[in-house]
Structure 1
């Protein structure tokens, strides 16, 4: 199979070929011919799907490609337009030799070879008319549809957004499907990418101008040939939106269009999966109107000042009157300085460009690519070098803060004996030992897990006299299996994590807290000890870690750079909506360390009694 392509947005250029096929009279039967379609149905005309980058084009192509009658290959991102501009090199296909040369060059293109199909060269060349570039495009897509056993094909290419006139010239009968998305969500998405718009203003200007031109051309074509799909409708009301799309295309709706996830592994190359990390899942509703929760007012004002007319034209809400914000005007000035991606290019030239947020998120899902291996190796080395052993003790101020917070939490627990206590990321076992000292012997049953095998061994040695070794094991705070102990099948009374949440990517930190809460017994308490990201200490350490990572100044140990201090207050407000959840925030005397306390609802009338009696 020829596959694995390196692209920056989803399937794209199949549409042009379809249009040519609609009016070409090649002697070879077309994949879109009526006799190959369902009986009595008319051939589906050529269809070109497109949209601005990060508008949901890939999701749309996967859904349409899952239709049992329509084949949609992965985008080749402007390849057909590129070759259309080079027709002089092929003497405008004046002879059969010119046609063969063009077809062979296209078949050699990596973006074509990475399609998830073997294309039949003889089928492509058979009966191709001279001088007709559009027929070449059509035949390539017919060959793809033929390999998939489908009568119809469609193309998706973000380049069509800017080249509808060229596509229309090649395929006068073509129909166009334009997917649009709220420009504020697009701006947020572009910030996570290593390419695309360089800043908020750049994104808003490009989105406004490119959509304006496309929508004007669509108005000329009319509703019979130009159809707009809103990303928000595609995600929130998928079936109704796809039914309207199928009616526009002239094919019956199929429920298979919502079962597209299984095709992702074949269509999307491994080295580009990070662009669409949730593509193999059902449409992600949290990606709709994200700007309402995460966009700063100044950024929203800048976008609406630049592209408010287009937002309103597409039916999106905007400020009745854009607030005058000095921060917004300052942001606009900085964007103008960065016009054309100057800062991005400078960072690359200085070797300071790291992985994009999307790439880091994808790496976090793959342990072999994430910081997990670095962390386990670093802590394993600290054990082997003697930094952490069974006699290790934390500093006295830390012990006092930890003991105070945990002691108060134990007093709030329902009366149970023994009280089950779990530490996530137990390290050397020092904190479990400290917990054990807060109650009489036998009152607490201690459990723990850690990612680093050497740390597990140290903890077992430290607690050998009080805790069976099977209660201490390897485990991941995000893995439900880590919490599954035979003697604690119904959960724990107290779950503690000390400087563990910071080891996770920020987008998964709230998930880790929820995972802990899911394993609490009624009335149980989860305690997350960590540094607050936005505290003075957190920001100071952020600068020190950045200087260590990017400038090589070694201001902190290298493995510190993998820590991402959580925004505990934000996590607390996010979890505050959970039914029956009680939240408290504790801080040490120096204001450096904080503890987020989350107490589950007490669903039965159990009395509360301190474990020390």
Structure 2
């Protein structure tokens, strides 16, 4: 075989070794990683220091709130970004060691990625405040707070009975017990956030009944002047209203703020949901 042929063969063998999993023999096995004291990376610098998160249950008017905010000249509120489902995969046994040498771990790598996504979207928009309104963020608020210690939070509440009714209407062959459990899960996390974070609290009922007063309070919280154009969101481009990215009903597509559907006073709620509704200022009815 010529020298060129041997070189190509050797190169092919090295490339195969680089992309193939290592053979599992006693000499090649990596040392077991300690599980009792796993490495926790320090927080890396953030490109977006103080993003805004809307914490809410599903079916609580978060899409309406996001398009009102997105209509402001300085606020970018895109569709649901689902950051919590954006993961980093450390594909080889030694990858974690390599990242630890760079003062990174899996969680912090994901945080860096999340931060980059927000920064990219903000940079593309030409605005200076970014808002993420993905409802399931509510379920991971402690991690968001760990990722962005300077984040700001808008707590959007709706009567749990109205949320149950809305979910029931939206789903085909609804499982009523499952729906009540889902709403309770969101409500418990909202209550945790209400007590543990510095939040600006609004209700969907107030947002639809007096949108100007409510959005003025939001602008004050975010440190921007109020703009009347926020109330006429139908004149702005907010992207497509599609499933999995937010509400896609004819109500939101209308471009008009419409009255909130009230809770059914005859609907029976679990005691804990009734207790939370009262804690949030809703009457027993």
Aligned partner of residue 163 in structure 1, secondary structure: helix
* TM-score w.r.t. length of structure 2: 0.71
In the alignment, structure 1 residue 172 sits paired with structure 2 residue 149: yes
Match of 2:18 in 1: none
Q: How far apart, in 2, do the equivalents of 1:274 and 1:46 lie? A: 22
Question: Could you tell me whether the CA contact under 8 Å between 2:277 and 2:283 is conserved in 1?
Answer: yes
Give the drift of 1:76. Answer: 2.8
Residues 58, 135 of structure 2: 8 Å contact kept: yes
Out of 314, 323, 333, the position equivalent to 2:280 is: 314
Matched position secondary structure for 1:189: helix
Q: What residue number does 2:251 align with? A: 278
Going from structure 1 to structure 2, the CA distance change for 1:219 and 1:233 (only over 3 Å counts) comes to: same
* Match of residue 17 from structure 2: none
Counterparts in 2 of 1:283 and 1:50: CA distance versus 1, 3 Å: same
Distance 1:288 1:274 in 2: 15
TM-score under structure 1 length normalisation: 0.35
Indicate conservation of the 8 Å contact 2:80/2:245, yes or no: no
1:162 counterpart residue number: 139
* Structure 2 partner of 1:266: 239
Alignment partner, residue 138 of structure 1: 115
C-alpha distance 93-247 of structure 1, shift in aligned 2 (>3 A): farther
- Aligned residue for 2:221, secondary structure, equals helix
Q: How does 1:431-450 map to 2 (within 5 A)?
A: none
Question: Matched residues in 1 for 2:196 and 2:245: separation?
Answer: 36
Q: Are the aligned partners of 1:45 and 1:249 in contact in 2 as well (CA < 8 Å)?
A: no
CA distance in 2, matches of 1:261, 1:93: 51
Q: Secondary structure at the match of 2:269?
A: helix
Which residue does the alignment assign to 1:494?
Answer: none
- Corresponding residue to 2:194 among 214, 218, 242: 218
Q: 1:268 is paired with a residue of what secondary structure?
A: coil
TM superposition shift of 1:273: 8.9
Query: C-alpha separation between the residues in 1 aligned to 2:162 and 2:129?
Result: 33
Q: Deviations over 1:427-468 (max 9, x none)?
A: xxxxxxxxxxxxxxxxxxxxxxxxxxxxxxxxxxxxxxxxxx
Q: Is the 8 A contact 1:87 1:93 kept in 2?
A: no
The answer on whether the counterparts of 1:93 and 1:133 sit within 8 Å (CA) in structure 2 is no
Structure 2 CA distance for partners of 1:54 and 1:92, relative to 1, 3 Å: farther
From 220, 230, 233, the equivalent of 2:203 is: 230
Partner of 2:217: 244
RMSD (CA atoms): 3.3
Q: Which structure's relative contact order is higher, taking Cα pairs within 8 Å and 6+ residues apart?
A: 2
How far residue 61 of structure 1 moved from its aligned partner, in angstroms, is 0.9
CA distance in structure 1 between the partners assigned to 2:119 and 2:89 by the alignment: 21
Cα deviation 1:505-527 (Å, max 9, x = unaligned): xxxxxxxxxxxxxxxxxxxxxxx
- Following the alignment from structure 2 to structure 1, what is the Cα–Cα distance between the partners of residues 230 and 67? 8
Bigger-Rg structure (1/2): 1
Deviation for aligned residue 1:227: 2.0
1:257-406 paired onto structure 2 within 5 Å: 257-263=230-236, 266-269=239-242, 275-279=248-252, 280-285=254-259, 287-289=260-262, 291=264, 297=266, 300=267, 302-303=268-269, 305=271, 307-319=273-285
Match 1:207 to one of 145, 161, 183? 183
The 2-side partners of 1:94 and 1:137 are apart by 21
CA–CA distance in 1 between the matches of 2:128 and 2:164?
Answer: 38
Partners of 1:307 and 1:215 lie apart in 2 by 11
In structure 1, the partner of 2:14 is: none
Aligned with residue 68 of structure 1, among 52, 67, 73 = 73
Count of paired positions: 235
| 1:139 positional shift | 2.1
User: 1:73, 1:267 within 8 Å by CA — same for their partners in 2?
Assistant: no
1:291 deviates by 2.5
Structure 1 unaligned segments of length 5 or more: list them. 1-22, 33-43, 103-130, 320-613
Distance 2:89 2:186 in 1: 26
Distance 1:184 1:87, change over 3 A: same
Kept in 2: contact 1:55–1:181 (CA 8 A): yes
Q: Using the alignment, how far apart are the partners of 1:50 and 1:197 within structure 2? A: 25
Q: Show the counterpart of 2:85.
A: 82
- Is contact 2:54-2:155 (8 Å) kept? yes
